[in-house]
Amino acid sequence: MRMPRLVWALALVLAVPAQAQTDYLEEEYNDDYPAQFLTGNPIFQSGDRLVGSISLHGPAFPSPTDYDLHYLTFAGAGSPGIYRYVFDLDAGGEDSFLVLFDQGLHTTLPFYLGINDDREPGSQFDSRIVFDHFDTTGANSVWGVDISAFDTLGEFNYALTVTREDTPVTDLGLLGRGVHEATGTNQPGAGEWYGFDLDTPLDVIIDTEGSDLWDTELALFDANGNTIGGNDDIDPASGNLWSRIERHLDAGRYYVALGSYDEFGINYGSFYNWNLVFDRPLGWDRDGFSGDTFVAPYVVRVTAVPEPGAAALMLVGLAMGALGLRRRRT
């Protein structure tokens, strides 16, 4: 007798083993910098959770009396790449607050890699941070997490789930001279990525002017994941909060990450390893990009122009060619 299709489908689902998930228990006392490794320093796999509780014994804002700070070691992917790490904090509907930071290997205090209060402002008070990390070795990585409450007066239990996946990158291909444009709508909390190649040195301008996403942020990376440029506002004095990066680039592979600055002041904008005041890297332990929750359609343009010297030689060549043509005709 043939089995009904529904029975076959159910049997197939039951035959596939569920992905193992391990819960690691947060332990006190852990309210001071520098953060300590989670007891035993377990190696997190994608989907594992840090489970704990926040206990508040006084005013919750601006100074909660309980923070849960830990360094978490995450298993490497085994190969280089740009990987998306998602830190998703479920606080049972309470108003949690999540901060992601590096180890501070080169500084006395760690750098913040992302901050989030509300996963979806106005409707979802759990927290989530998405950080796209350039992993040049595929080895284990260490992440700092700071879990607290924003305006909760009582106690609550939480579960922080950490996952990793490939970062989506839209390939613009080999760029010649001229304007190359892409449009889209950014995802809440995540950066939008574009890759392009140059086969000759060019001056390159990357901008977001004309976007509905009116307060943008940009970061530029080389093929090895080094942050080589960043911009928040083109001209804040005149109200131009779109972004623009101008760089002379050698031949090679490059990546652009685009995100938003929070229009409503609920979260804290995009994070990337670039000092906007001094136009140089900040000194993070890693390179990558963390987006913000504000979402709107955007346009990003990559304009490539020849080097001034190359342009001059081209004009000279054209002039000499025209002169030779005139001589042959006379």
Residue pLDDT, tens place only, 279-303: 999 999 999 999 998 899 999 999 9
Rounded to whole angstroms, the Cα distance separating 148 from 88 reads: 14
pTM of the model: 0.85
Q: Measured between alpha carbons, how far is 207 from 28 in angstroms, rounded to an integer?
A: 47
The amino acid occupying position 204 is V
Confidence of residue 16 (pLDDT cuts 50, 70, 90): very low
Comparing 222 with 315, the larger pLDDT belongs to 222
Give the residue-averaged pLDDT of 149-157: 73
Written as six digits, the tokens of 135 are 């992993």
Strand 68-74 to 43-44 pairing: parallel
pLDDT at 76: 95
CB 94 within 8 A of CB 147: no
For the chain, give the mean pLDDT: 84
pLDDT number for residue 107: 83
The Cα 148–Cα 55 span in angstroms is: 9
Where is pLDDT greater, at 278 or 108?
278
Which of residues 7 and 211 earns the better pLDDT score? 211
pLDDT above 50 (res 314): no
139 DSSP β-pair partners: none
Contact 305, 249 (CB under 8 A): no
Give the burial string for 49-82 (b: 16+ CB within 10 Å, else e). Answer: bbebebebeeebeeebebbbbbbbebebbeeeeb
pLDDT band at 57 (very low <50, low <70, confident <90, very high): low
Lowest mean pLDDT among 51-65, 189-203, 263-277, 278-292: 51-65
pLDDT over 60 at 129, yes or no = yes
Among candidate residues 223, 207, 200, the one with its CA nearest the CA of residue 305: 200
- Above 50 in pLDDT, residue 1? no
Backbone angles phi, psi at 216, to 5 degrees: -100, 170
Each residue's pLDDT tens digit, 166-182: 999 999 999 988 899 99
Per-residue model confidence (pLDDT) at position 151: 64
pLDDT at position 154, please?
Answer: 64
